[in-house]
Amino acid sequence: MHKRITWMVVVIALFVLFGGLSFGVGLYFDYLWFAELGKTAVFTTVLYAKSMLGSGTLLAAFLFLYFNLLFANRGPGQIEIGIPTPNGQITAYRVEPETVRRFAGLASLAIGFLIGVGYAANWERVWRWLHRVDFGSADPVFGRDVSFYFFTLPFLRDVVRFGLMLSFLALIGVAVLYYFKGALTWGQLKGSGGRSRPSVHISLLAALVFALLGASAYLDRFELLYGTHNVFSGAGYADLHARLPMLSLLAAAALVGALLWIANAFLKGSRPAVIAILLYLVVMFGGNLYPAFIQKFFVDPNELDKESPQIAHNIRATLEAYNLDAVEERDLSGDTALTARDIENNSATIQSIRLWDHEPLLDALKQIQEIRTYYDFVSVDNDRYLIDGQLKQLMLSARELNSASLPERNWINEHLSYTHGYGIAVGPVNRMTSEGLPVLHVQNIPPESAYPLLEVDRPEIYYGELTHSYALVHTGQEEFDYPSGEENVYARYQGEGGVRVHSLLRKLLFAFYFRDPNILLSPLVTRDSRFLYFRDIRQRINRLAPFLMLDQDPYSVISGGKLFWIQDAYTVSDRYPYSTRTPGVGNYIRNSVKVVVDAYNGDVDLYVADAEDPVIRVYEKIFAGVFRPLSEIPEHLHRHLRYPEDIFTVQTYMYSVYHMGAPQIFYNKEDLWQIPTLATGSTENPMSPYYTIMRLPQETREEFILMLPFTPGRKDNLSAWMVARSDGEHYGKLVVYRFPKQKLVYGPRQIVARVNQDAEIARQISLWDQRGSQVIQGNLLIIPIEEALLYIRPLYLRAQNGKIPELKRVIVAYENRIAMEETLEASIARIFEGEYSFAAGEARLAEQSAGAPPRAPTAGLGLVEEAGEAYSRAVAAQRQGDWATYGEELRKLGAALEELKRARDSRPAPEP
C-alpha cells in the first residue's frame, strides 16, 4: 500500500515537473521570438495582465473560501468517520479540527488556482475596460455610450459571475461542513429556540447570493438589446414594455430577498428566508409569462405598428456597426446605349477584365512554373502595378517550398537544406499565348522579369503560407537555394530573422521545445545557427495579435526588388446594441489593421488603417508602441493596399437587406436584394466579389475597385451593384449604383441561360465534349462601361487526361447580342460589328498615359500581334494536318492584314 502511494506521488511529481518545465521553456522561447520581432511589449503586457489577474482572483477566491470554511470549522460539533474493521464492526474516528483546517486550506487553494487560471485567460476584458474609450454614439433605449456595451458590461458580468461562483461554493462548502459536524439540523435552520452560529453564517451567505442575483438581473436588462426576432435584431416591443420592467422587478425582488436573508440571520423562525425564495421565484416565473402574454395578444396582431421604432433602431445600428452608414448611392438611367467609341474610351477597363480565374490559372502555373516537385503555388492574388505609365491589373502567385513533396524526407532535408521557396509568377489578367496558356511577366528560376518594376532581387521565401515547420540556417549543412539545370545552387541566409542558438544550454532547450533530439545530437547545429520558427504568416500574426481576425487571403507584393505579404486584419465584436449578427464574425467589424510581413526576414509591422475605430484605439493604449499609423507605411507598399474581400462580402450581404431604410419596406421585404447565384458543377453558389480596374460612372479616371452585383429577391434581373474603392483619397469608400425598377437589366443567371441557348456556342461546346476534352466555364464577370454593362465569361479547355487548362474562347454578351471568339477583343469587335478596334483603344490608352490629347483611333501593334498569332496557329495546324483550322487561321490572318490596310489608308496625312 505504501509503495503504491509512493509511486503515485513520484508520478504526480514528475508530471508536475515536466509540465512546469514545458511551460517555462515555452515562455522563454516565446519571449525570444517576440524580441526577434521587436514586439516584447506584447509579451510583457500579456504576461503581466495574466499574472496580475490570475494571482488576484486566486488570492481573492482562496481567502473568501478559506475564511468561510475556517469560520465553520471553529463552530460547534466535530466530524466523525466510521471505518469498518476486519471483523465487520464499525470503528468511529474523530477528525481533528486541525486536519479539517488543513484540508480546507488545500481545497480552497486548489479551487482558487482553477478559478485564477480561468480568469487569467480573460485578461482582455479587464484591460479593455481599464483602457476604454468612447464611441461617441449612444444606444436608443438606455442612452449609454456604445463603449459601455463593448467594455464595461462584459467586465461587470465577469465581476458578478466571480462573486456568484464564490458565494455558491462557500455556501455549499460550509453547509456540508456543518452537516458532517452535526451542527446543522432542520430545527436550527427553522430558528426554533434562537439563532445558531450555522444558521447565521448560512443566512448571510444566502443574502450575498441574492444580492449578486439582483446585480445579475440588473445587468440582464442591457442584454435585451442583443435579442433576435423573426424580422429584426435587438429589443422588441415586448422586451421593452414587459421583459425590461420584469427584470427591474426581479432585481428589486432579489435585493429585498437579500435583506430578508439578513433579517433571517437574527430573527427567530425561517419565515424571512421562505418569503425571499418564494418572492424571487414568483417574479422570475412572472418575468417569463408576462412578456409572452404581451407578445401574443398585443404585438402579434399589430406587429408592424408596434415594432416600427425598434426596426428603425436595428437598421441604423446595423449600418453603423458594419460601416455602411456612409455608403454613397448613385442612380443609373439604364437607358444608355453602349457604342464602340465608349469601348475605346474605356480601354483601361477592357484591358483589365480578368479572363484567368484563380483555379484554372493555379492549375496552369503548377504545370508550367513549379519547375520541381517540391515547389507549390498555393493561391493567386490580384493587384495593380503601374507599368509603362498605365495601371495594369496583374495576378501573382508565390512559388513556395512544400516540404511534404520532397523526394527524400529526412530531418536534414526538411529543416536544414530545403528551407525556403523561391520566386513568384506574375502575369496580366487578360492575356494568353497562342496555345491558350497564361502570358507571364515574371517567370522561371531565377526570376526573369519583363519590366524593371517587377524585378525580384531577393526571391527567397522563408516566411509564407506553406512554411509550417521551423528552419535552421547558418548550420554546417549547405542550404539549397534553387535548381539550375542538372545542378543545384546553394546559398547562405543573409537576413536578420531567427533566434540564435548561442550556447549548448539553449541548444538543449531548443531540442526540448521542439521535442526533437536531432537538434541536440547533430554537430551541424552550431552556436551561430539560427532558428526560424512560427514562419506561417497567419500563425505568425495570430501569435503577435490574437485579438485580430485575419482575412482569408493574404496577398503577395513585389516592391523594391523584395517580396512582401500584406494581410488584412479586422477588429470584430458581438457587443453592438441592436445590430444584426453575422455567423463567425459577430455584429461589428472594421478593417482596422494592415499587416506587412517581410517574406525574407520575417519582420511584422502592424499599421492602423482605421484610426476612428474605438476598438483598435483601446488596443493601441494597451500595447503602446506596437501599432504604427498608416502614414508611416512606405509609399511603395501603400500603393498596393486594397479593400479586402472578406469584409466586403459581409457588407454586401448586410446591405442587400439593410439598404431598405423605411421600417415598413424593411418589414415587408418589398425591396429585398440578394447576391446572384450561379451553377458550379452540380451545386449553385453565390457570386464572389472580384477586383478590376475601371472608370466608374460619373468619374474621370480609372481605379482599382472590388465589386459585386445585386439582384431583386427571388428574381434574376439586375437591380444594383456595389463597389469598394481602393485608390488614393477614395480608399475605403463604398458606392452603390442602382438601376431603375421599371427598367429590365439582365442578371447573371439570365445571361448564362441565353448563352447556353445560343446555337453556335452550344454546337462548339458539344464538339469539344465529343472529342473527349473537358470544357470549363469560367466565372461570369459583369463589367460596367459608362452606364451600361458588358458580361464576360471565359471558356477553358482541358484535354482528355490532361492537367493544363487552356483559355480557348471568350464569351461577351451585351443586351441581346452574344459573341464567342478566341480573344476578348475579337468578341467585342463582333458585338459591335467591326466598329471596335482593340489597337485603337490601346493607342488611345497610351496617349492618355503619356498626357497627349486624344486623337482618332489608329491601328497598331494589337493587330500586328493578332496577325502574327494567326500565322503561328496556321503553321501549327498545317504540320498536324488539321486543314480546317489551317483555313480558318488564314482567314483571320487576311482579316487582320485588311484591317491594318484600312487603318493605314484612313490615317490623316502629316502636316507639312
pLDDT at position 901, please? 62
| Placement of cell 447570493 in the chain | 209
The alpha helices in 38-152, defined as continuous H runs, are: 40-73, 97-120, 123-130, 146-147
Judge contact between 702 and 841, C-beta under 8 A.
no
> Quick one: cell of 350?
477592357
Residue length, the chain?
Answer: 912
* Most confident among 81-90, 311-320, 476-485, 674-683 (mean pLDDT): 311-320
Each residue's pLDDT tens digit, 188-209: 555 554 567 888 899 999 999 9
Average pLDDT over residues 899-908: 57
CA distance 451 to 441: 7
> Quick one: cell of 831?
458585338
> Quick one: cell of 34?
517576440
Task: Say whether 106 sits in a helix, a strand or coil.
Answer: helix
Percent of the chain with pLDDT over 70: 87
In 681-831, DSSP assigns E strands to: 683-686, 690-694, 703-712, 720-725, 734-738, 774-777, 781-785, 788-798, 806-814, 817-821
| Omega within 30 of 0 (cis) for the link into 629 | no
Average pLDDT over residues 473-501: 91
Which element (helix H / strand E) includes 541?
Answer: helix 537-544
> Given its phi and psi angles, is residue 772 left (phi above 0), alpha (psi -120 to 50 degrees) or beta?
left
Each residue's pLDDT tens digit, 642-672: 999 999 999 999 999 999 999 999 999 999 9
Each residue's pLDDT tens digit, 708-764: 999 998 899 999 999 999 998 999 999 999 999 888 899 999 999 999 899 889 888
pTM: 0.87
Each residue's pLDDT tens digit, 759-790: 889 888 888 877 778 888 999 999 999 888 99
Write out 53-64 in H/E/C secondary structure: HHHHHHHHHHHH
Q: CA of 377: how far to CAs of 365, 399, 484, 564, 600, in Å?
A: 7, 5, 19, 16, 17
pLDDT at position 371, please? 87
Judge contact between 420 and 462, C-beta under 8 A.
yes
Average pLDDT over residues 271-287: 93
Each residue's pLDDT tens digit, 401-420: 999 989 889 999 999 999 99
Percent of the chain with pLDDT over 90: 67
796, pLDDT greater than 90: yes
| Placement of cell 460596367 in the chain | 784
Single-letter amino acid, residue 564: F
| Placement of cell 427584470 in the chain | 247
pLDDT at position 904, please? 56
CA distance 647 to 642: 12
Q: Which of 254-268, 336-350, 534-548, 848-862 has the lowest mean pLDDT?
A: 848-862
In 460-560, DSSP assigns E strands to: 460-461, 471-473, 479-484, 487-491, 499-500, 530-532, 549-550, 555-559
Average pLDDT over residues 864-892: 61
Q: Rounded to the nearest 10 degrees, what angle do helices 123-130 and 153-180 cross at? A: 130
Each residue's pLDDT tens digit, 215-272: 999 999 999 999 999 999 999 999 999 999 999 999 999 999 999 999 998 887 788 9
Task: Say whether 637 sits in a helix, a strand or coil.
Answer: helix
pLDDT at position 485, please? 80
860, pLDDT greater than 80: no
DSSP 837-894: -HHHHHHHHHHHHHTPPP------HHHHHHHHHHHHHHHHHHHHT-HHHHHHHHHHHH
